[in-house]
Every structure is written in C-alpha cells, then in structure tokens.
Amino acid sequence: MSMPNPYNKYLQTQVQTAPPEQLVTMLYDGAIRFGMQSIEAIRRNDAAAAHTDLLKVQNILHELIVSLNSDAGEIAEQLYQLYDYLLRRSMEANVKKDAAIVEEVLQFLRELRGTWAEAIILARRQQLRAGVGDGGNF
C-alpha cells in the first residue's frame, strides 16, 4: 500500500476550501504552468511531454468553459468564444508541436488571469466598504 503524497493532499485541501473566485485563478495558474512546460518540452523535442502538458491546458480550458455562468449574459458569451478559440489553438499547437502558438495562448491566459485578479480585488474592496457601512459585520 503506497503512502499518500503530502503535496497532493495539500493541493486537494486547497481546492476543496478555496472560494469559487480563487478556483478560477487556480485554473488560470495551472493552464499557464502547463503551457510553459509544454513549450519547454517542445524546445527539447519531447513530443510526449508536450502532448501531456497541452492536454492538461485543454482540460483546464474545458473546465473554464463549463464553469461559465450563462446568467452573466454578454460577458459569458464573450468568454466562451475566447476560451473556445484558445482551446482550438492549443489543439493546433499540440498537433504541430508549435511553441509560438502556445505562446499566443499563454499571452491571452496571462491577461485573463490579471484581469480576474483585479476583479477579485475590486469586489473585495466593495464588500469591505459595504461591510463598514453595515457596522462592520462580515
């Protein structure tokens, strides 16, 4: 019987206890990390590792797509179109083992992650202001 990996247990706990907005950040971080790993694998001509890492990017993009809230209206539709584009580009990068395409995908993911992080900060500030106005009860 194998011993459980403490790092995997830590990650599992982190995911299970994270607020929803943090989970999206974690998805972006994972996609960026695996995209960077795939570029390294492409550069060292390790097609199998590149394939594995790009499949992880694609799986994360699928998760981002299915987690979209259609009630958000136009922004959800725009994100869907962007995620779908990134998914198709990551598939193309995987078939061609093209680091330049992965770089394109990463550029979008980094921008999305940055925008998401800013939105979280703004939302938290608004919650704090609202909480202070309500007597500070959170």
Domain coordinates of the chain in residue numbers? 19-111
Classify domain 19-111 by CATH number.
Answer: 1.20.120.340
| Structural contact between residues 38 and 57, judged by C-beta atoms closer than 8 angstroms | yes
pTM, whole model, 2 decimals? 0.82
Question: What average pLDDT score do residues 124-136 get?
Answer: 72
Nearest to residue 35, comparing CAs of 90, 115, 114? Answer: 90
Q: Which of 61-70, 106-115, 124-133 has the lowest average pLDDT? A: 124-133
| 12-48 pLDDT per residue, tens | 556 566 677 889 999 999 999 999 999 999 999 999 9
pLDDT at 16: 66
Please report which confidence band the pLDDT of residue 130 belongs to, taking 50, 70 and 90 as the band edges. Answer: confident
For the residues 47-66, what does the mean pLDDT come to? 98
Percent of the chain's residues with pLDDT above 90 = 71
More confident residue, 9 or 35: 35
